[in-house]
Amino acid sequence: MKPNTLTLIAAAAAIAAPGMLWALSEADTDGDGLVDVAELQAVFPDLTETQFEKMDLNADGGLDADEIAAAQLAGQLPSNES
């Protein structure tokens, strides 16, 4: 990952921390620290696999806290439950 991308992710994590914690605790049903597409679709049923893949910056099949924060900052995920 490029240094600029890491900087953006770190900034996004700082800005979106409260919402990020909600997204992880709400969606990570197996408690592994990552949210896979099925877990995220359980919370957001209209989410497509293509949308998920755009959020999965390292293409590992799961969103970590930094990827969730970046997705929230980009408007791809809501930053809280409302």
Backbone region of residue 59 per phi and psi (left: phi > 0; alpha: psi in -120 to 50; beta: other values): left
For residue 25, being part of any structural domain is answered with yes
Collapsing DSSP to helix, strand or coil, 77 comes out as coil
What CATH code is carried by the domain that includes residue 20?
A: 1.10.238.10
Collapsing DSSP to helix, strand or coil, 35 comes out as strand
Q: What is the pLDDT of residue 49?
A: 97
Structural domains counted in the chain: 1
Q: What mean pLDDT do residues 27-43 have? A: 92
Tens-digit pLDDT profile for residues 41-59: 998 899 999 999 999 999 9
Decide if pLDDT at 26 tops 60. yes
Find the domain containing 64 and state its range.
3-73
For residue 51, being part of any structural domain is answered with yes
User: CA 38, CA 60: separation in Å to the nearest integer?
Assistant: 14
For residue 33, being part of any structural domain is answered with yes
For residue 80, being part of any structural domain is answered with no
For residue 10, being part of any structural domain is answered with yes
Q: What is the pLDDT of residue 27?
A: 84
Burial classification of residue 60, based on how many CB atoms lie within 10 Å of its CB (0-12 exposed, 13-18 middle, 19 or more buried): exposed
